[in-house]
């Protein structure tokens, strides 16, 4: 199947694109986009991959669903476009960065600057019906994004995986911790951030690990 995605990723994931589940997923997604309002806009479905080439990946942040309200989702987990109000979870992420690294939070919730440095901002499910959280779960996206994580964890070394919340932790539980740095905490949502996300210092720990392994730190 010919999928419009960055060439490095296309070569890496071609075997997934040929599988039956992915063909069924494509048919489902196409039907959803023609019959409902679906986010993100179609050209941004694979934006996490387009913004962060395979060879540049150093850090992986796992989200769950795209944002499901108008104008928010653009294919990068936790990220919104420049002119959109910063969502509560990202507000808390910025608070932790400020506490951890002393950096003043930016006025924009657009995380493309992270992606450009090698941070793969990957949602488990890459599409969602408007106003209906979880509406595209269990249609094949999770199998696809599991395969992405497997390929990265198997084929690369010294990646940092940031697993916030029980869902992300289950999705990344197979990652070889002797080969990569896996950092887990509560989810940054206002419902759970005080149960271990605040104070986790994942951003300084990520940079210390990258530097220790001969890589540049992320400018969070």
Catalytically active residues, by annotation: 65
Sheet holding 160-164, edge to edge: 119-123, 59-63, 160-164, 181-185
Distance CA 30, CA 25 (A): 9
Distance from C-alpha of 150 to C-alpha of 145, rounded to nearest angstrom:
9
CA–CA dist 197, 93 (Å, integer): 9
* Rg, Å, the chain Cα set: 17
Q: Are 38 and 22 in contact (CB under 8 A)?
A: no
Dihedral sign, Cα of residue 12, residue 15, residue 18, residue 20: negative
């Amino acid at each position: 199947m010919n999928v419009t995605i960055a060439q490095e990723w296309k070569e890496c994931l071609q075997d997934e694109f040929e599988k039956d589940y992915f063909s069924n997923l494509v048919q489902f997604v196409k039907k959803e986009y023609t019959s409902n309002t679906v986010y993100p806009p179609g050209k941004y479905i694979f934006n996490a991959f387009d913004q962060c080439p395979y060879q540049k990946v150093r850090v992986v942040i796992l989200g769950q669903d795209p944002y499901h309200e108008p104008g928010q989702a653009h294919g990068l987990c936790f990220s919104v476009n420049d002119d959109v109000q910063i969502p509560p979870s990202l507000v808390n992420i910025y608070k932790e960065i400020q506490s951890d690294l002393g950096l003043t939070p930016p006025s924009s919730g657009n995380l493309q600057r992270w992606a450009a440095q090698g941070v793969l901002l990957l949602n488990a499910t890459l599409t969602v019906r408007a106003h209906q959280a979880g509406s595209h779960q269990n249609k094949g996206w999770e199998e696809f994004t599991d395969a992405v994580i497997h390929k990265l964890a198997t084929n690369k070394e010294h990646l940092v995986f940031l697993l916030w919340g029980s869902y992300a932790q289950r999705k990344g539980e197979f990652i070889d911790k002797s080969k990569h740095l896996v950092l887990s905490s509560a989810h940054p949502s206002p419902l759970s951030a005080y149960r271990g996300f605040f104070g986790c210092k994942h951003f300084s720990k990520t940079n210390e690990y990258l530097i220790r392994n001969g890589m540049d730190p992320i400018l969070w």
